[in-house]
């Protein structure tokens, strides 16, 4: 037993040295501490051991699992801090500085803030199945929430994802629990275009799965995230909501920064912008991801990156983000 546990640690260290991207580390994490990993098989076998073997190996097995997790987390943190790009500054050429899209800037600021809180960035397909986009999220075929999504269905029996929430179950299936992820990406809805609605926009999904998670944890993450992005405390309100994949569900609204809460076309003269829907992950969603809701719970939220960019840069019309005007994009920069 001791030899096998030591070999697990040695093999993990070797494989991590070959990882150059976060996604590679996550794959290694799934292999060594995921729900189908060897260490989890050993831990599940503890109950069948004799009392003497439990005393002899119990703490060793638990300590090995913690050491595996710590090794992975430390490597991931070091990798994130050291990733950089070196440019050759010996070449004699004139540099014409470019610019980033405001949504790209916001996405980086949000993911950087979440990474400080221990979240890992993952991704998922933009063309997805009905199962991951709807059914695995507790939205069956006859559920009225499907009508709310205004979905683009494709001829190949797939669809353009209507939210980044479809990655929730994919991540649980692949990495197990505990889990702390964020998923930035593009989504599509057949919307009527106006100052605050587009048919192509960007969201960020966040999810935390662990033991003894509460709604206070969700509120704390949201407040810290907005503080990091806006560099000040932002007035927010929490009100009841409904989403099939969370229970209970909430809507977190942000005081409209375009009109300072006075009312404008962007906030429909209410003074508030619906910014972060979320809640506690529904037990059926946990089950779809292969996680026991009697052991683990968690929260999930969907952040509108496009809408957040509107708030930060006081952009009154969402349609300017997709107009491709480079002269307009040159006005934005990372804080």
pLDDT per residue as tens, the chain (335 positions): 788 888 888 998 988 888 887 778 888 888 888 878 888 888 888 888 888 888 887 888 888 888 988 888 888 877 766 655 555 556 555 555 667 888 888 999 999 999 989 899 999 999 999 999 999 999 988 876 676 558 888 999 999 999 999 999 999 999 899 999 999 999 998 877 666 667 888 999 999 999 999 989 998 898 888 888 888 878 888 889 888 999 999 988 888 888 888 888 878 889 998 888 999 999 999 999 999 999 999 999 998 888 888 878 888 877 778 777 777 777 776 65
Which residues, other chains included, contact 62 with Cβ-Cβ below 8 Å and sequence gap of 6+? Answer: 43
Q: Are strands 179-188 and 120-121 parallel, antiparallel or unpaired?
A: parallel
180 and 320 inside one domain: yes
In a domain, 335, yes or no: no
Q: Is residue 95 assigned to a domain? A: no
Tens digits of residue pLDDT in 195-235:
666 788 899 999 999 999 998 999 889 888 888 888 887 88
Final residue before a domain boundary, out of 33, 53, 82: 82
State the virtual CA torsion across 19, 302, 164, 176 in degrees, nearest 10: 50
The per-residue pLDDT for range 142-170, each reduced to its tens digit, is 876 676 558 888 999 999 999 999 999 99
Structural domain harbouring 286: 102-329
Residues 42 and 116 in one domain: no
Identify whether the C-beta of residue 169 lies closer than 8 Å to the C-beta of residue 132.
yes
CATH code assigned at 123: 3.30.930.10
CA 135 to chain centre: 19
Quick one: 36 and 150 in the same domain?
A: no
Count the domains in the chain: 2
Q: Where are the alpha helices (DSSP H) in the chain?
A: 2-17, 22-33, 38-44, 51-82, 102-116, 130-133, 145-149, 167-175, 215-230, 283-288, 305-313, 326-329
Question: What pTM, to 2 d.p., does this model score?
Answer: 0.69
User: Are residues 106 and 185 both part of a single domain?
Assistant: yes
């Amino acid at each position: 037993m001791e030899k096998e546990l030591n070999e697990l640690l040695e093999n993990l260290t070797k494989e991590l040295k070959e990882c150059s991207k976060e996604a590679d580390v996550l794959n290694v994490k799934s292999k060594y501490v995921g729900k189908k990993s060897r260490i989890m098989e050993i831990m599940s076998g503890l109950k069948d051991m004799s009392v003497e073997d439990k005393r002899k190996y119990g703490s060793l097995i638990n300590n090995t699992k913690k050491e595996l997790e710590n090794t992975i987390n430390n490597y991931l943190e070091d990798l994130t801090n050291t990733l950089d790009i070196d440019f050759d500054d010996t070449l004699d050429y004139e540099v014409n500085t470019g610019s980033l899209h405001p949504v790209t800037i916001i996405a980086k600021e949000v993911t950087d803030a979440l990474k400080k809180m221990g979240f890992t960035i993952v991704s998922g397909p933009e063309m997805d199945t009905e199962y991951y986009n709807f059914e695995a999220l507790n939205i069956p075929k006859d559920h009225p929430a499907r009508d709310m999504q205004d979905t683009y269905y494709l001829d190949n029996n797939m669809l353009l994802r209507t939210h980044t929430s479809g990655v929730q179950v994919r991540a649980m299936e692949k990495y197990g629990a505990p889990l702390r992820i964020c998923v930035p990406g593009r989504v599509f809805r057949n919307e009527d275009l106006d100052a605050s609605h587009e048919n192509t926009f960007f969201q960020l999904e966040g999810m935390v799965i662990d033991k003894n998670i509460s709604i206070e944890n969700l509120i704390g993450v949201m407040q810290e995230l907005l503080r990091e992005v806006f560099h000040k405390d932002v007035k927010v309100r929490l009100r009841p909501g409904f989403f099939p994949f969370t229970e209970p569900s909430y809507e977190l609204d942000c005081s409209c920064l375009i009109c300072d809460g006075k009312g404008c076309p962007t906030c429909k003269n209410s003074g508030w912008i619906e910014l972060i829907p979320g809640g506690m992950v529904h037990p059926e969603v946990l089950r779809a991801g292969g996680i026991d809701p009697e052991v683990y719970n968690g929260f999930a939220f969907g952040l509108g990156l496009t809408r957040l960019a509107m708030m930060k840069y006081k952009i009154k019309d969402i349609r300017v983000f997709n107009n491709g005007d480079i002269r307009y994009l040159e006005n934005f920069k990372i804080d």
